[in-house]
Amino acid sequence: ELELVESGGDSVQAGGSLRLSCVASGYMYSDADRKCMAWFRQAPGKEREGVAAISSDDSFTTFYTNSVKGRFTISQDNDKRTVYLQMNSLKPEDTAMYYCAAVWGRCGVGWASYNYNVWGQGTQVTVSS
């Protein structure tokens, strides 16, 4: 059974940087190429929002929501078991609980609406002005 564990959340000042990590375990290595991995976030009183996604096939195709383009970068290790979210130029509106999610298959333009069936426990990011 696939499991995801996030880490790296912290409290920072506006303009600062953080790197979130998501470690995947519990699946066969031969399935490593078949995942769409994504980061979502949810702030208090707001709906969950897709932040970024990356395909675990050889294309390493990435997708971002407009509000983080140019500031956030999603990447993964060569073994495709760890996904990162590098967050630069953080803003107070980036404050949220950040979740890692996975679904079997390749990411596409509709990645934010996929039925992700595996979620991590979340890691809190707080950005103060």
The predicted-structure confidence for 42-94, as pLDDT tens digits, reads as follows: 999 999 999 999 988 777 899 999 999 999 999 998 777 899 999 999 999 99
pLDDT at 27: 67
Check residues 2 and 97 and name the one with the higher pLDDT: 97
- Answer whether residue 33 shows pLDDT above 80: no
The pLDDT-based confidence of 31 (bands split at 50, 70, 90) is low
CA proximity to 124, closest of 9, 45, 34, 44: 9
Question: Hunting for tokens 């979740």 — which residue is that?
Answer: 99
The Cα–Cα gap between 53 and 36 comes to 7
